[in-house]
Chains A and B, each alone.
Chain A
Amino acid sequence: MDNMTGPAIEIRNVVKRFAAHTAVRDLSLVVPRGTVYGLLGPNGAGKTTTIRMILNVIAPDSGTITILGQDSTSDSILDHVGYLPEERGLYRKMKVRSILRFLAELKGMSRKKADPLIDEWLERLSLKTADKDWGTAKVDELSRGMQQKVQFIAALLHDPELVILDEPFSGLDPVNSQALKDTIVELRRRGKTVIFSTHLMDNAERMCDAVCIIANGDKVLDGTLTDVKAENAGRTVAVALDGAPNTEIDRIFADRSLVERVDDSNRFFEVELQPGADSQDLLRAIVGSGARVKRFELVQPSLHQIFLEKVGAKGVEPGMSGHG
């Protein structure tokens, strides 16, 4: 790569319309090199469309996309990108080793270079053990979990600079899920850039250096996780009470001049203050109601909350909250 310091991906004013609707409108974002980057948004937000445009699978109507310093439409750039699509599948009648070899060849690898790496990966993900070599089996004969492992290998075999994972955790069993997390961390340690889309905020919060939230094809916010949290800090208060909450408490939390919204977990509340409201007023009101306060703490909001706040306001389709 000639440009080692520039961003991994730079998207400028990208628009994609389909016949009936606009999937992505005027999206601009920068993914710094060597980071784990989360592309977050509800279903139908335009994540997969954005990813497909990055990979030049579909062309944007307008705007430019630069990958590792090169235009995304240039011929060989995709050889440095690994991709795990949301909808996953393999040729069912092919042998595992042949399919991995084929996908490696499509990334410009020679068979000679690919073969030892394939074995290495098969062993690493225990698809090849002393008693059984699944590499010689047909894809049809593999369990779903094993097929997922083969798909990881396909995305990572050619040691890409940039790895794009579309909803990588959906449909994974806990063991594979853990293997994937470990792999992402390891890639990051080796200086690779990893982008993944998800609507599972817990995973994103634990793994991402930076995030971008999109909804309805629009960017809602982006930046490093620290910045995003700092910008949205100071307005969330964690409250824990001793004993059952009284009706007075409900009245205080329903006061829209003070509280914007509350995440009520019965004994524990995450309260989001109205912009400009003072947390001390809330504390006074709670103490005044006669409730015993066990904990009252200004906290950084969770990504989950930021997501709900930002995307909720933009009108998520019913039944599609941040968890799903």
Chain B
Amino acid sequence: MGKLWAVIKREYIERVRTKWFIIATVFGPLMFAALMIVPAWLTLKTKSAADISSTVIIDATSTGIGARVSEAMRGFGGGPERAPEVRVVPPSELTAAESLATAEVMREAKSGYLVLDQQTTAGESARYAGRHASSLTAMETVREAVRSTVLGYRLEAEGVSADRSRELTTGRLAFRTERITDDGRGGSGAVSAFFGLGIAFLLYMSIILYGQNILRGVIEEKTTRVAEVVVSSVRPETLLAGKVLGVGAVGLTQQLVWVATVVTFLTYRVPIFKLFGIPAPPFQIPGVSPVDGLLLLLFFVLGFVFYAALFAAVGAMVNSDQEAQQAAQPVMLMLVAAAIFIQPVTFNPTGGLATAMSWLPFSSPIIMPLRLSIINVPTTELVGSLVVLLLSTLLVVWLAARIYRVGLLMYGKRPTLKELGHWIRYS
């Protein structure tokens, strides 16, 4: 026990001290903050850049709604005083007016033109052509202006007073989604998907980074031949266990720092966003129940041990980093296969694919936490997946320990599958 502790301590301290660990631990949250702030800031910039007030409104409806649309578009870009110019034309001259406007847009006198005709007042369609056609925010503003104006016009046509119709048509509808779990309400749907994706990605990154870290550690022990001194004092199994636990603890430490800073960042996002002059996005930190937290931890630990043991076995089989790249490919492939399914599972967390990936031990540590944070996974599935993962992890550790024991002191040619079988049998 004391020896295992000594190995864990060495693996942990030697890694936590490195520059890379410190850089990654500090820069991870900074990256996250940048990911939150930069898009918000960019959106703000885009909004002011998309000057829709220099749009020409070509009104061929002979109802005068062009002026009302222009009013509704006032204030978006180019200052509150500027509203788009309205050109009322008879329907027969519409084509000519459009050609003129196109020419104006081409020499940048105008940014675009909006066509309102009979189909618009009928509530069917309107057309925009111009420089901002691909700007989502600009188009959303134009669309909303036309839609509410047309709606108001049609209400008035039905006899509703102008004031009343304005009252009825203004006001954006905010759309919130909320997830209902067994315990009641559990935060917004989008937030938990975001959270789930974050967790899955974090697990995937940790396993890749720290699994490879173990791989390199084993190769270092082999190439420097320090392994021989170490295994003359502790059993190779103890060394393997200490390595996996020590490096796992490093990964967990990093994640805790990351999660803690991200949570702090989100909690104080209003003052932080204010510093950049951006309104803070509405965001609710998802509440994780202790049971869910425990399950996430369990999946991470088992998944990490599963992959770490495999990486250690690969490390014991090879003699150099170059060889390791090739030998680690099957392990990496399993991991990448699991990661490829993150997106489809997020979109359809109850589908057949999601269920299947939750049963397979190589993908369940990544897919299951993802599903857990989006939906309520049936208990039978949850327990089954955990049991399968646990048993496979035990099997993998047992196999890896045997390969490790023999491979650690073998130099030279990489073993073939048949030789690997020998190793497993005679250690």
Partner-B contacts on A (CB < 8 A): 19, 52, 55-59, 78-79, 81, 83, 85, 87-94, 98, 102-103, 105-108, 151, 154-155
Residues of chain B contacted by A55 (CB below 8 angstroms): 232
Q: Assuming A52-B409, A78-B233, A92-B220, is B228 touching A108 (CB within 8 A)?
A: no
Contacting pair B232 A89 (CB below 8 A): no
Do A93 and B3 form a contact, CB below 8 Å, given A85-B229, A103-B229, A106-B230?
A: no
Residues in chain B within 8 A of chain A (CB atoms): 2-3, 6-7, 10, 14, 220-221, 223-226, 228-234, 409, 419, 422, 427
Given contacts A58-B409, A103-B233, A107-B233, contact A19 B422 (CB under 8 A): yes
Least Cβ–Cβ distance between A115 and chain B, in angstroms:
14
Q: Return the contact of A90 from the options B2, B226, B231, B232 (Cβ within 8 A).
A: B226
In the assembled complex, the CB of A160 is this many whole angstroms from the nearest CB of chain B, namely 11
With both beta carbons as reference points, the residue of chain A lying nearest to B406 in the complex is identified as A58
**3 closest pairs, A vs B, by CB?**
A89-B224, A89-B225, A105-B6
User: A57-B231, A89-B225 in contact; A105/B3 too (CB < 8 A)?
Assistant: yes
Chain B contacts for A91, CB-based, 8 A? 14, 220-221, 224, 226
Given A52-B409, A91-B220, A105-B3: A85 and B233 within 8 A (CB)? Answer: no
User: Which label, helix, strand, loop or mixed, suits the secondary structure of the B interface?
Assistant: helix
Smallest beta-carbon distance A133→chain B, Å: 19
Which residue of the partner chain, among B220, B225, B234, contacts A106 with CB atoms under 8 Å?
B234
Inter-chain contacts of A155 with B (CB < 8 A): 229
- C-alpha gap A106/B11 in the complex (Å): 13
Q: Could you tell me if A83 and B14 are in contact, using CB atoms closer than 8 angstroms?
A: no
Q: Is the pair A92, B3 in contact by a Cβ cutoff of 8 Å?
A: no
Complex contacts, B231 vs chain A, CB 8 Å:
57
Question: With A102-B6, A106-B230 known to touch, is A57 a contact of B224 (CB < 8 Å)?
Answer: no
In the complex with contacts A93-B14, A94-B14, A106-B6, A85-B225 CB distance below 8 A: yes
Docked complex Cα distance between A78 and B232 (Å): 7
Q: List 23 A-B contacts (CB under 8 A).
A: A19-B419, A52-B409, A55-B232, A57-B228, A78-B232, A78-B233, A79-B233, A81-B232, A85-B225, A85-B228, A85-B229, A89-B223, A89-B226, A91-B224, A93-B14, A94-B14, A103-B230, A105-B2, A105-B3, A106-B234, A107-B233, A151-B229, A154-B229
Of A59, A85, A88, the contact of B232 (CB 8 Å cutoff): A85
Complex contact A83–B232 (CB within 8 A): yes
Determine the residue in chain B with the shortest Cβ distance to A19. B422
CB of A301 to closest CB in B, whole Å: 35
From B224, B225, B226, residue with most partner A Cβ within 10 Å: B226
Smallest CB-CB separation from A108: which chain B residue?
A: B2
Question: Which residue of chain A is the closest to B226 with respect to CB atoms?
Answer: A89
Kindly state the separation between the CA atoms of A91 and B217 in the bound complex, as whole angstroms.
10
Alpha-carbon gap, A82 to B270, bound state (A): 62
A108–B223 CA distance with the chains assembled, in angstroms: 26
